[in-house]
Structure 1
Amino acid sequence: MEEKKEYSNGEVTVVWQAEKCIHSTNCVKNNPDVFQPKMRPWIKIDGSTTEKIIDTVNKCPSGALSFYKNI
Protein backbone atom coordinates (compact mmCIF):
# COMPACT_ATOMS: atom_id res chain seq x y z
CA MET A 1 0.00 0.00 0.00
CA GLU A 2 1.20 3.46 -0.91
CA GLU A 3 2.42 5.61 1.96
CA LYS A 4 1.37 9.19 1.39
CA LYS A 5 1.48 11.91 4.02
CA GLU A 6 0.40 15.53 3.92
CA TYR A 7 1.74 18.47 5.93
CA SER A 8 0.05 21.89 5.82
CA ASN A 9 0.89 25.35 7.13
CA GLY A 10 -2.49 26.76 6.07
CA GLU A 11 -1.11 28.32 2.87
CA VAL A 12 0.41 25.27 1.23
CA THR A 13 0.19 21.51 1.74
CA VAL A 14 3.25 19.35 1.05
CA VAL A 15 2.54 15.78 -0.05
CA TRP A 16 5.19 13.11 0.49
CA GLN A 17 4.96 9.73 -1.28
CA ALA A 18 7.45 7.36 0.33
CA GLU A 19 7.62 4.82 -2.50
CA LYS A 20 8.82 7.49 -4.95
CA CYS A 21 11.59 8.83 -2.71
CA ILE A 22 15.13 8.15 -3.99
CA HIS A 23 16.77 9.86 -0.99
CA SER A 24 18.60 12.47 -3.06
CA THR A 25 18.60 14.72 0.05
CA ASN A 26 17.85 17.77 -2.11
CA CYS A 27 15.06 18.71 0.30
CA VAL A 28 17.31 18.48 3.35
CA LYS A 29 20.14 20.42 1.69
CA ASN A 30 17.84 23.16 0.39
CA ASN A 31 15.64 23.60 3.47
CA PRO A 32 16.95 21.85 6.60
CA ASP A 33 14.60 23.85 8.85
CA VAL A 34 11.65 22.01 7.29
CA PHE A 35 13.04 18.68 6.09
CA GLN A 36 14.54 16.81 9.04
CA PRO A 37 14.79 13.08 8.25
CA LYS A 38 15.91 12.06 11.75
CA MET A 39 12.80 13.57 13.36
CA ARG A 40 9.20 12.35 13.41
CA PRO A 41 7.31 13.79 11.73
CA TRP A 42 10.24 14.55 9.44
CA ILE A 43 8.58 17.53 7.72
CA LYS A 44 8.32 20.54 10.04
CA ILE A 45 6.06 22.61 7.82
CA ASP A 46 6.20 25.71 10.03
CA GLY A 47 10.01 25.89 9.82
CA SER A 48 10.20 28.09 6.73
CA THR A 49 8.29 30.42 4.44
CA THR A 50 5.73 29.06 2.01
CA GLU A 51 7.78 30.42 -0.90
CA LYS A 52 10.95 28.59 0.21
CA ILE A 53 8.99 25.37 0.84
CA ILE A 54 7.54 25.48 -2.69
CA ASP A 55 10.98 26.20 -4.16
CA THR A 56 12.45 23.22 -2.28
CA VAL A 57 9.64 20.84 -3.27
CA ASN A 58 10.09 21.84 -6.92
CA LYS A 59 13.71 20.61 -6.70
CA CYS A 60 12.69 17.05 -5.78
CA PRO A 61 14.03 14.88 -8.64
CA SER A 62 11.81 11.86 -8.00
CA GLY A 63 8.45 13.55 -7.56
CA ALA A 64 8.15 12.11 -4.06
CA LEU A 65 7.44 15.63 -2.81
CA SER A 66 4.65 17.69 -4.31
CA PHE A 67 2.44 20.48 -3.07
CA TYR A 68 -0.85 22.22 -3.53
CA LYS A 69 -1.89 25.66 -2.43
CA ASN A 70 -4.75 25.90 0.02
CA ILE A 71 -7.50 28.30 -1.01
Structure 2
Amino acid sequence: MFVTEKELLESGYRKYPGETIDVFYDIKKCVHAGECVRGNGDVFKVNRKPWIIADNASTEEVALVVDSCPSGALKYIRKEEMDMEFLIDSNRFYLEDANGELTAEITFTRPNDDFFIIDHTGVNDSLRGQGVAQALVKAVVDKARAENMKIIPLCPFAKLEFEKKEEYADIWRR
Protein backbone atom coordinates (compact mmCIF):
# COMPACT_ATOMS: atom_id res chain seq x y z
CA MET A 1 0.00 0.00 0.00
CA PHE A 2 1.40 3.40 -1.00
CA VAL A 3 1.30 5.97 1.79
CA THR A 4 1.57 9.67 0.98
CA GLU A 5 3.88 12.12 2.66
CA LYS A 6 0.86 14.00 3.99
CA GLU A 7 -0.52 10.84 5.61
CA LEU A 8 2.82 10.04 7.24
CA LEU A 9 3.27 13.55 8.61
CA GLU A 10 -0.33 13.68 9.88
CA SER A 11 0.15 10.37 11.69
CA GLY A 12 3.21 11.59 13.61
CA TYR A 13 6.21 10.82 11.40
CA ARG A 14 9.01 13.33 10.99
CA LYS A 15 10.53 13.79 7.53
CA TYR A 16 14.25 13.51 6.77
CA PRO A 17 14.54 14.60 3.12
CA GLY A 18 17.09 13.31 0.65
CA GLU A 19 17.87 13.88 -3.00
CA THR A 20 16.27 10.65 -4.25
CA ILE A 21 14.53 9.26 -1.15
CA ASP A 22 12.84 10.79 1.88
CA VAL A 23 12.97 8.90 5.18
CA PHE A 24 10.21 9.26 7.78
CA TYR A 25 10.54 8.38 11.47
CA ASP A 26 8.00 8.09 14.29
CA ILE A 27 9.67 7.90 17.70
CA LYS A 28 6.44 6.66 19.31
CA LYS A 29 6.50 3.50 17.18
CA CYS A 30 10.22 2.82 17.65
CA VAL A 31 11.20 -0.19 19.79
CA HIS A 32 14.91 0.75 19.58
CA ALA A 33 15.96 -2.56 18.03
CA GLY A 34 18.94 -0.80 16.42
CA GLU A 35 18.51 -2.36 12.97
CA CYS A 36 18.83 1.07 11.36
CA VAL A 37 22.11 2.05 13.07
CA ARG A 38 23.62 -1.41 12.51
CA GLY A 39 22.30 -1.41 8.95
CA ASN A 40 24.04 1.83 7.95
CA GLY A 41 25.76 4.07 10.49
CA ASP A 42 26.41 6.73 7.86
CA VAL A 43 22.69 7.28 7.32
CA PHE A 44 21.44 6.55 10.84
CA LYS A 45 23.52 7.94 13.72
CA VAL A 46 21.77 8.62 17.02
CA ASN A 47 24.21 11.20 18.42
CA ARG A 48 24.07 13.42 15.32
CA LYS A 49 21.56 16.10 14.39
CA PRO A 50 19.81 15.35 12.18
CA TRP A 51 20.20 11.73 13.09
CA ILE A 52 19.04 10.57 9.65
CA ILE A 53 20.85 11.77 6.52
CA ALA A 54 19.26 9.98 3.58
CA ASP A 55 21.90 11.16 1.09
CA ASN A 56 24.73 9.35 2.91
CA ALA A 57 23.99 6.13 0.99
CA SER A 58 22.36 5.01 -2.23
CA THR A 59 18.58 4.97 -2.52
CA GLU A 60 18.61 1.16 -2.52
CA GLU A 61 20.80 0.95 0.60
CA VAL A 62 18.53 3.35 2.51
CA ALA A 63 15.39 1.47 1.42
CA LEU A 64 16.90 -1.87 2.46
CA VAL A 65 17.72 -0.60 5.97
CA VAL A 66 14.32 1.07 6.42
CA ASP A 67 12.61 -2.15 5.29
CA SER A 68 14.46 -4.00 8.08
CA CYS A 69 12.86 -1.85 10.79
CA PRO A 70 10.80 -4.31 12.90
CA SER A 71 8.44 -1.72 14.41
CA GLY A 72 7.43 0.30 11.37
CA ALA A 73 8.89 3.43 12.93
CA LEU A 74 10.81 4.04 9.69
CA LYS A 75 9.17 4.55 6.31
CA TYR A 76 10.40 5.98 3.01
CA ILE A 77 9.16 7.50 -0.20
CA ARG A 78 11.34 7.21 -3.28
CA LYS A 79 11.18 10.36 -5.34
CA GLU A 80 11.38 8.48 -8.63
CA GLU A 81 8.12 6.73 -7.66
CA MET A 82 6.35 9.88 -8.72
CA ASP A 83 5.09 9.43 -12.25
CA MET A 84 4.26 12.91 -13.47
CA GLU A 85 2.89 13.89 -16.83
CA PHE A 86 3.42 17.62 -17.20
CA LEU A 87 1.22 19.86 -19.25
CA ILE A 88 3.19 21.87 -21.80
CA ASP A 89 2.88 25.39 -23.16
CA SER A 90 5.41 26.99 -25.47
CA ASN A 91 7.56 28.28 -22.59
CA ARG A 92 6.55 26.26 -19.54
CA PHE A 93 5.86 22.84 -18.07
CA TYR A 94 3.18 22.70 -15.38
CA LEU A 95 0.76 20.64 -13.30
CA GLU A 96 -2.85 21.37 -12.39
CA ASP A 97 -5.03 19.80 -9.73
CA ALA A 98 -8.41 18.18 -10.43
CA ASN A 99 -10.06 21.62 -10.35
CA GLY A 100 -7.72 23.03 -12.98
CA GLU A 101 -5.76 25.09 -10.44
CA LEU A 102 -2.03 25.51 -11.06
CA THR A 103 -0.01 23.42 -8.58
CA ALA A 104 3.50 23.49 -10.08
CA GLU A 105 5.32 25.12 -12.97
CA ILE A 106 8.65 25.96 -14.50
CA THR A 107 8.96 28.77 -17.00
CA PHE A 108 11.70 29.47 -19.49
CA THR A 109 12.43 31.84 -22.34
CA ARG A 110 14.22 31.23 -25.61
CA PRO A 111 16.21 34.39 -26.44
CA ASN A 112 17.65 32.74 -29.56
CA ASP A 113 18.16 29.31 -31.11
CA ASP A 114 21.13 28.45 -28.86
CA PHE A 115 19.77 28.40 -25.32
CA PHE A 116 16.86 28.54 -22.86
CA ILE A 117 16.78 30.68 -19.73
CA ILE A 118 14.97 29.04 -16.80
CA ASP A 119 13.50 32.01 -14.94
CA HIS A 120 11.00 30.51 -12.49
CA THR A 121 10.19 27.26 -10.69
CA GLY A 122 7.21 27.11 -8.34
CA VAL A 123 5.53 24.27 -6.49
CA ASN A 124 2.40 24.41 -4.33
CA ASP A 125 2.97 23.55 -0.66
CA SER A 126 0.85 20.40 -1.05
CA LEU A 127 3.50 18.97 -3.43
CA ARG A 128 6.68 20.12 -1.69
CA GLY A 129 9.26 17.50 -0.81
CA GLN A 130 8.04 15.07 -3.46
CA GLY A 131 10.60 15.81 -6.17
CA VAL A 132 8.21 17.82 -8.35
CA ALA A 133 10.55 20.81 -8.75
CA GLN A 134 13.46 18.51 -9.64
CA ALA A 135 11.28 16.76 -12.22
CA LEU A 136 10.29 20.11 -13.73
CA VAL A 137 13.95 21.09 -14.14
CA LYS A 138 14.66 17.69 -15.71
CA ALA A 139 11.79 18.22 -18.17
CA VAL A 140 13.40 21.44 -19.41
CA VAL A 141 16.82 19.72 -19.55
CA ASP A 142 15.32 16.90 -21.63
CA LYS A 143 13.68 19.42 -23.96
CA ALA A 144 16.93 21.37 -24.36
CA ARG A 145 18.87 18.18 -25.13
CA ALA A 146 16.27 17.09 -27.69
CA GLU A 147 16.54 20.49 -29.40
CA ASN A 148 20.35 20.67 -29.07
CA MET A 149 20.13 23.75 -26.83
CA LYS A 150 21.95 24.92 -23.70
CA ILE A 151 20.36 26.30 -20.52
CA ILE A 152 21.09 29.32 -18.35
CA PRO A 153 19.40 28.60 -15.00
CA LEU A 154 18.59 32.06 -13.58
CA CYS A 155 15.91 30.71 -11.25
CA PRO A 156 17.62 30.07 -7.86
CA PHE A 157 16.15 26.57 -7.53
CA ALA A 158 17.13 25.54 -11.06
CA LYS A 159 20.63 26.95 -10.52
CA LEU A 160 21.03 24.81 -7.37
CA GLU A 161 19.91 21.74 -9.33
CA PHE A 162 22.54 22.45 -11.99
CA GLU A 163 25.20 22.92 -9.31
CA LYS A 164 24.28 19.61 -7.60
CA LYS A 165 23.86 17.41 -10.67
CA GLU A 166 26.94 16.59 -12.72
CA GLU A 167 24.71 15.11 -15.41
CA TYR A 168 23.57 18.64 -16.28
CA ALA A 169 27.10 19.97 -16.90
CA ASP A 170 26.95 19.34 -20.65
CA ILE A 171 23.81 21.41 -21.08
CA TRP A 172 24.72 24.31 -18.74
CA ARG A 173 25.67 27.51 -20.52
CA ARG A 174 27.79 29.45 -18.05
Q: Same fold (TM over 0.5)?
A: yes
* Structure with the largest fraction of helix: 2
Q: 1:29 aligns with which of 19, 26, 38?
A: 38
Displacement, 1:21? 0.5
Q: Does 1:6 align with 2:1?
A: no
Q: Distance in 2 between matches of 1:44 and 1:9?
A: 7
Partner of 2:102: none
Q: Distance in 1 between matches of 2:70 and 2:14?
A: 18
Displacement, 1:43? 0.3
Partner of 2:77: 68
Partner of 1:41: 50
Identity among equivalent positions (%) equals 34
| TM-score, with length taken from structure 2 | 0.38
Displacement, 1:3? 4.5
Q: How many residues of Structure 1 are paired with residues of Structure 2 in the alignment?
A: 70
Q: Which has the higher contact order (CA 8 A, sep 6+)?
A: 1
Unpaired segments ≥5 residues, structure 1: none
Partner of 2:167: none
Rg larger in structure: 2
> What does 1:54-65 align with in structure 2 at a 5 Å threshold?
54-65=63-74
